[in-house]
Amino acid sequence: MPKISDERRAERREQILNAAWSCFQRDGLHATTMDHIIAASGLSAGAVYSYFPSKEELILAAVAASLSGIRELLDPLLRRDPPLPPETLLREIAAAIDRFSSRDGFDLKRLALLGWSEAQRNERLRGTMRGFYTAFRDQLAEVCKTWAAVGLIARTAKPDEAAKALLALILGYVAQAALLGDVEPAAIGRGATQLAPYGPRGLQRSKRTTTSR
Amino acid sequence: MPKISDERRAERREQILNAAWSCFQRDGLHATTMDHIIAASGLSAGAVYSYFPSKEELILAAVAASLSGIRELLDPLLRRDPPLPPETLLREIAAAIDRFSSRDGFDLKRLALLGWSEAQRNERLRGTMRGFYTAFRDQLAEVCKTWAAVGLIARTAKPDEAAKALLALILGYVAQAALLGDVEPAAIGRGATQLAPYGPRGLQRSKRTTTSR
Amino acid sequence: MPKISDERRAERREQILNAAWSCFQRDGLHATTMDHIIAASGLSAGAVYSYFPSKEELILAAVAASLSGIRELLDPLLRRDPPLPPETLLREIAAAIDRFSSRDGFDLKRLALLGWSEAQRNERLRGTMRGFYTAFRDQLAEVCKTWAAVGLIARTAKPDEAAKALLALILGYVAQAALLGDVEPAAIGRGATQLAPYGPRGLQRSKRTTTSR
Amino acid sequence: MPKISDERRAERREQILNAAWSCFQRDGLHATTMDHIIAASGLSAGAVYSYFPSKEELILAAVAASLSGIRELLDPLLRRDPPLPPETLLREIAAAIDRFSSRDGFDLKRLALLGWSEAQRNERLRGTMRGFYTAFRDQLAEVCKTWAAVGLIARTAKPDEAAKALLALILGYVAQAALLGDVEPAAIGRGATQLAPYGPRGLQRSKRTTTSR
DNA sequence: GATGAATGAGTCTTCATTCAT
DNA sequence: AATGAATGAAGACTCATTCAT
C-alpha cells in the first residue's frame, strides 16, 4: 500500500485527538475506554494504536494539545503593548477561555480540571503542566513588571508575587466556573479590582482604562 | 460478635476513610482499587463493604469528609470579629490549608483537585461540592460586605463579585500549589494586595492591620 | 441460660423453614441468600445456623417439608375406599395442590419446579425426591389396580404403566400451571378423560361417579 | 484479524452455546460459573462476552436454542397427515425427546427442568417459555380437533382441554423421566391409553392404529 | 498498511459461614 | 445460648493491547 501522506497522518491524529477530547470531557479520563475513543474517531483499534502507542500517550497528547490551544489563545492578550490593565486582562483571559470552551461543545475548563487531577499521579503529565504553567506565570510576571512600571499596580509590587496572585485568579476562575457555573468573566475581573483597598480610586482608574481600550 | 458500639463503628468508618484517603492521594480516585483500600485499612473486603456499599459511596464519603474538614478549618477564620483584613485572611486560609495538608501526610490540595475532577462526571459529587462551595462563597460575601462597610476594600464593592474573586484566589492557590508547589501562603496574600492599583497605601494599611492583630 | 424447650425448638425450625420457603419461592433457590432467609426469619445468623448447619441442609429440609406437606395433602384422596374414579381423582389432586398453593401466598407448584431443578445436581435431594415420587407412584399403581379390577379403566391395564401416565399427568399439571398459569384442575381432569377413545361413555360414567361421592 | 465471516460467527456462537449447555446440564444454571463455560468453550473470557453480553443473556440464548431444537424435533410428528393416533403420538414425542437427549450426552429433559425453574424468577425467560409452550399446545389442540373429527378420541372432546391433558402428559413425562429415570416412551403411551374407561376397545383401536402405521 | 476479534489479568462486589463477646 | 460483625474465596464482567489475516 502506498505510504500515507504526512498531511493525512496529521489529519488523522487530529481526528483521534478530537474524539478523545470529547470522550474525556464527557466521561472523565479513566472512565473513557479506548473503545469509546476508537468508536468516536471512526477508525479501527489498530489505526488508533498506530498513532498513539498507549492510552497514557493519548492522554498526554490530548492535554498537551489543549495546553498549546490555550497558549495560542492567551498569547495575544499577554503580548499587547501597552499591556491591558489588570481588570481588563483578567476579564479578557476569562472570556477567551469561555469562548474557546463553547466551541464545538468542548469545555476547556472541565478538561483543565481533568488534567490537573491526572497530573497528581502521572509524572510526565505533571512535568508538561509544570512547564506550561511556569512559562505562563513568567509571562504574567513580565506583564506585572510593566504594570508596576507604569503605575497600573503598586510600583513596589514584586512581579513574581503579583503573577502568582494573577495565576491563582485565573486557575481559580476556571475551577469555580467548572464547579459552580455562575461566574462571568466580567464579574471575576471586577471582583478582583474591588478587593483593592481604597477601591474607589482603583475602580475609577480601572474603569477609565477599560473604557479607553 | 455482639452489636458493636456506635463509637467503635464510627472509629472503623474513620479508619477506612483514612485508608481510602491516603490511597486516593497517592494513586488518584480511579487508579485506586478497592483492594488497595482494603489492604490499607487492615480490614477484610466484607468489612469494608459493610461500611460503604460501593466504591462510589466511599469516594463520596471521603470527599464529604474532606470538605467538612476544610469547613472546620476555615470557619474560625471567617467568623473573626472584627474580620481579618483581605491580605491576612487570604494568607491565613492558605496557611490553614497547608497546615492541614502536612498532617499525617495528607495533602488536602491534591485531594481537592481529585474531587473537582470527579465532580465533572459524578452528579451526586457535583451536588455536594456545589453546596459546599456555594455556602463557602456566601460566607466570603458576608466578610466582603463588612470589609466594604469598614473601608478595608472599596466601599462601592459588590460583596458577591468580590467573593467570587476571593474564592477564585483560594481555589487558584490550591491548584497552583498542587501543580507547581512553589507558592507560599504569604506570597499569595501579598500578591493579591499588590495587584491593587495604588497598592502602596493598600499594603501599608493591610500591614498595619495585620500587625495589629 | 436455660435450655430451650423442644417445642420452642420445633417452632423456631418451622419459622426458619417458612422464611426460607417464601424466599425460595420469590427468588429461586440460588438467588436466595442466607441473609434474606435470616432477615425473613427474624432470627440472627447464628440462630439460623444452629438449626440448619448449611444452606444445602436448609434447602433439603425445605424440600422435604414441602414433600411431606404434599403427602399429607394427597394421602386422603388416594386412600378413599372405594377409590375415586380417574377423572375425579386427577381433578381433586390438582385442586388440592392449588388450594395448598394459595395458602399464605406459597405456591407449591413453583416450589416443586425449583426442587426438580435442584435435584438434577444435588445427589441427596435427588434421593429424597426419588423416594417420594416412587412411593407416590406405587400408591397410584395400587389405585390403578383397583380401578382395573372394578372396570373403571381397562381391565387389562398394567397398573404400573397406568400409574406412570397418571403421575405424568400430575407432574405435567404442576409444570404447565406454573409456566402457563391457565390450567384449571377440572380442565385437566376432563381433558385426560376426553383423550380416551369412546370418550362419551367414559365421561358419563366419570360424571356419575363424581356426583355420587 | 479482519472481519470474521457470518458463518464463522455463528459457528463460534454455537460452540459457546454447546459449552454452556453441557455445563448447565452438569451443574445447573446458577452453580455454573462463567469460568466453567469459558474453559469449556475453549475461548477467552473476552471472546465469550463478545458473543453474549452477560450470563443471563447466555442462559436465555441456551434455553431459546433448546426450545427451537425441540420444536424442530416435534414439528414433523405434529404435522403428520393423517395425524398419528394418541398413543403413537405420545410415544413418538417421548421417544424423540429421548433420542435428542442421548445425542452428545445432552439431556434435554434435565435442561428443560432447569429452564422451568429459572422461568419462575426470570421475567424474560418466562415470556419465551410461555410463547413456546402456548404455541405448542395450540398445535396439540389442532391435532386433538382432528382426532375428535375422525373418532380417535371422543367426538365431543374439547380440543383445548384435551390439549392441556396432552401437554401435561408430555411435560410430566419429561419431569418423571428426569427425576426417576425409569419411564420408557412406550410405557407412557400405553399407560395413557389404559387410563381410558372401557379401555379394551380403546386399547384395541389404539393397537390397531399403531400397528397400521 | 489496516482491521477488529481475541486475550486475560485485573476490577468490583457478594455471600456462606464462623466465632469473639 | 445468642448475636451479628467479620472473613475471604469466588464470581461476573471489563478493557488496554495485540496480532493473524
Give me the tens of pLDDT residue by residue for chain B, a chain 213 residues long: 667 888 889 999 999 999 999 999 999 999 999 999 999 999 999 999 999 999 999 999 999 999 999 999 999 999 998 999 999 999 999 999 998 877 667 889 999 999 999 999 999 999 999 999 999 999 999 999 999 999 898 888 999 999 999 999 999 999 999 999 999 999 999 999 888 765 334 333 333 333 333
Cβ neighbors of A167 (< 8 A, separation 6 or more) are A133, A136, A137, A140, B172, B176
Split at pLDDT 50, 70, 90, the class of A195 is confident
Q: How far is CA A90 from CA A84, A170, B107, B167, C153, in A?
A: 9, 7, 29, 15, 102
Q: Is C185 on the interface with D (CB under 8 A)?
A: no
D94: nearest CA partner in chain C: C168
- Which residues of chain D are under the pLDDT cut of 70? 1-2, 103-104, 197-213
Residue range C58-83: mean pLDDT, rounded: 94
- Round the average pLDDT of chain B to a whole number and report it: 89
Kindly determine whether the C-beta of residue A35 is less than 7 Å away from any atom of nucleic acid strand F.
yes
Contact D173, D94 (CB under 8 A): yes
| pLDDT score of C93 more than 70 | yes
B191: nearest CA partner in chain A: A162
Residue range A196-204: mean pLDDT, rounded: 45
Give A44-61 pLDDT, tens digit per residue: 999 999 999 999 999 999
Q: Which of C29, C111, C161 to mutate to test the interface with D (most CBs of D within 10 A)?
A: C161
Residues 15-44 of C with CB under 7 A from strand F: 43-44
Q: Is B157 on the interface with A (CB under 8 A)?
A: yes
| pLDDT score of C62 more than 60 | yes
Interchain pair D121, C26: CB under 8 A: yes
Q: Is A156 on the interface with B (CB under 8 A)?
A: yes
Q: Is A109 on the interface with B (CB under 8 A)?
A: no
Among the partner-chain residues C110, C121, C152, the one whose CB lies closest to the CB of D197 is C152
CA D2 and chain centroid, separation: 39
- How far is A23 from A42, CA to CA, in rounded Å? 13
Lowest average pLDDT, out of A88-102, C197-211, D119-133, D141-155, goes to C197-211
In single-letter form, the type of residue at position D170 comes to I
Q: pLDDT at position C197, please?
A: 64
Q: pLDDT at position C3, please?
A: 58
Give A120-153 pLDDT, tens digit per residue: 999 999 999 999 999 999 999 999 999 999 989 8
- How far is D20 from D31, CA to CA, in rounded Å? 12
D128: nearest CA partner in chain C: C179
Residues 4-43 of B with CB under 7 A from strand F: 4, 12, 43
Q: pLDDT at position A100, please?
A: 84
> What is the distance in angstroms measured between the alpha-carbon CA of A54 and the sugar C1' of E2?
18
Q: pLDDT at position D106, please?
A: 81
In single-letter form, the type of residue at position C155 comes to R
Residue range A89-116: mean pLDDT, rounded: 89
Q: pLDDT at position A197, please?
A: 63
Q: How far is C2 from chain D (nearest CA, A)?
A: 41
| pLDDT score of A64 more than 90 | yes
- How far is A191 from B157, CA to CA, in rounded Å? 8
Split at pLDDT 50, 70, 90, the class of C206 is very low
If one counts every other C-beta atom within 10 angstroms of the C-beta of residue C106, the result is 18
- Round the average pLDDT of chain C to a whole number and report it: 88
Contact C109, C174 (CB under 8 A): yes
Cβ neighbors of B32 (< 8 A, separation 6 or more) are B20, B23, B24, B26
- How far is C204 from C210, CA to CA, in rounded Å? 10
Quick one: what percent of chain C has pLDDT higher than 70?
89
Kindly determine whether the C-beta of residue D4 is less than 7 Å away from any atom of nucleic acid strand F.
no
- How far is A124 from A63, CA to CA, in rounded Å? 11
Q: pLDDT at position B155, please?
A: 86
Interchain pair C158, D194: CB under 8 A: yes
Kindly determine whether the C-beta of residue A49 is less than 7 Å away from any atom of nucleic acid strand F.
yes
Q: What is the pTM of this model?
A: 0.89
CA count, 13 A, side-chain hemisphere, C86: 40
D126: nearest CA partner in chain C: C179
Query: What is the sign, positive or negative, of the torsion defined by CA atoms of C188, C194, C196, C200?
Result: positive
Q: pLDDT at position C8, please?
A: 84
Q: Which run of H or E residues covers position C171? A: helix C159-179
Kindly determine whether the C-beta of residue C49 is less than 7 Å away from any atom of nucleic acid strand E.
yes
Interchain pair A26, B121: CB under 8 A: yes
Q: pLDDT at position A201, please?
A: 40
- Round the average pLDDT of chain A to a whole number and report it: 88
- How far is D61 from A155, CA to CA, in rounded Å? 79
Q: In chain B, what is the greatest distance between 2 CA atoms, to the nearest angstrom?
A: 70
| pLDDT score of A198 more than 60 | no
Q: How far is D122 from chain C (nearest CA, A)?
A: 9
Q: How far is B177 from chain A (nearest CA, A)?
A: 9
| pLDDT score of A205 more than 70 | no
Q: pLDDT at position B103, please?
A: 65
Residues found in chain A: 213
Among the partner-chain residues A120, A134, A154, the one whose CB lies closest to the CB of B178 is A120
* Nucleotide nearest to C49 in CA–C1' terms: E17
Q: pLDDT at position B199, please?
A: 38
